Amino acid sequence: MKIVVLDGYAANPGDLNWSKLENLGECAIYERTSREQVKERIADAEIILTNKTIIKRDVIEASPLLKYIGVLATGYNVVDIDAARERDIVVTNIPAYSTPSVGQMVFAHILNITQQVQHHSEEVHKGRWCNSVDFTFRDTPLIELLGKKIGIVGLGQIGYNVARIALGFGMKVWAYTSKSRLQLPPEIKKLELDPLFRECDIITLHCPLNETTRGMVDARRLALMKPTSILINTGRGPLINEQDLADALNSGSIYAAGLDVLSHEPPHPDNPLLTAQNCYITPHIAWATYEARQRLMQIAVENIKAYLNKAPINNVAKK
């Protein structure tokens, strides 16, 4: 049995190892695979693992031995699920591995924006504190989280984790969710989407990307937000209309945004958010702590073991 890892570098740039996977069969592990290389590299593989390498219908149809596609991520839109189902190919994902790390990144952005940690550290290193006439200096607003309203769009595992952290800061937690009020703990209040954007001081996005949610944060919805409000996105870039967000930031319609994802990754140099006012961007790293990647690789191996035992788990192509 041959196992091919198409783009292993993101999950394991060298600080982890593939030994548990290599114990399961003959392995070919590639750091990256171009679109032109995919068919050749998986031609004789029964099992393939992919993170962001796209597996379209033509790739599946050109791979007669292929029986299993493991996505090294939670989202699995890189695989043509319909084509896989037609061939009875198992497609698995890695759920929940990054929940603690993503919640941590949400608040890394929130705290950086509200406390301006990066800015003031840079100013100290420029000598401004040394030259200050007072024992302190500050040149941006500093914002306390206690009592602030945070609106969570999507209340899955990550959304719940963010809610728990927010409650620890003494924040008021509201959520837009398909769950009924009876399914929510009393400290989380359910609210419809437009009122959530209108009322909350911070909005954080944790919903899936689909045709309903694509571009959901647009000029109309941004106009509902307070001029002091903050938008956080560690979910999917296309949830936001990026030009509309850039316009809102540059005009002062909202105060700031903290983003870990963009609509195209890596971003195009002309992406308007790269030069927008008060826009803080990290390069899609919320998932990438050492501990989260350890869990990801362990779950990937357990998924394959379950498949080999004819009892697949986390099969997103199940009919």
For 171-205, write each residue's pLDDT tens digit: 999 999 999 999 999 999 999 999 999 999 999 99
Could you give the CA distance from residue 147 to residue 173 in angstroms, rounded to a whole number? 10
Whose CA is closest to 231, among 74, 110, 111? 110
Phi-psi region of 222 (alpha: psi -120 to 50; beta: other; left: phi over 0): alpha
Amino acid at 43: A
Q: What is the pLDDT of the chain when averaged over all its residues? A: 97
Once rounded to an integer, what is the mean pLDDT over residues 10-15? 96
What pLDDT does 29 receive?
Answer: 98
Asked if domains 2-95+290-308 and 99-281 share a fold, the reply is yes
pLDDT band at 52 (very low <50, low <70, confident <90, very high): very high
For 82-112, write each residue's pLDDT tens digit: 999 999 999 999 999 999 999 999 999 999 9
Q: Can you list the positions of beta strands (E) in 118-276?
A: 149-153, 172-176, 188-190, 202-205, 230-233, 256-259
Q: Residue 107 is encoded by which pair of tokens?
A: 């608040």
Q: Which fold has domain 2-95+290-308?
A: Rossmann fold (3.40.50)
Domain boundaries, the chain: 2-95+290-308, 99-281
What pLDDT does 165 receive?
Answer: 98
Could you give the CA distance from residue 135 to residue 138 in angstroms, rounded to a whole number? 11
* CATH number belonging to domain 99-281: 3.40.50.720
What pLDDT does 163 receive?
Answer: 98
Query: Where does residue 96 rank: exposed (0-12), middle (13-18), buried (19+ CB within 10 A)?
Result: middle
Write down the residue that tokens 């060298």 correspond to: 14
Once rounded to an integer, what is the mean pLDDT over residues 46-74? 97
Residues annotated catalytic, as ranges: 236, 265, 284
pTM, full prediction = 0.93
Q: Residue 157 is encoded by which pair of tokens?
A: 């595992």
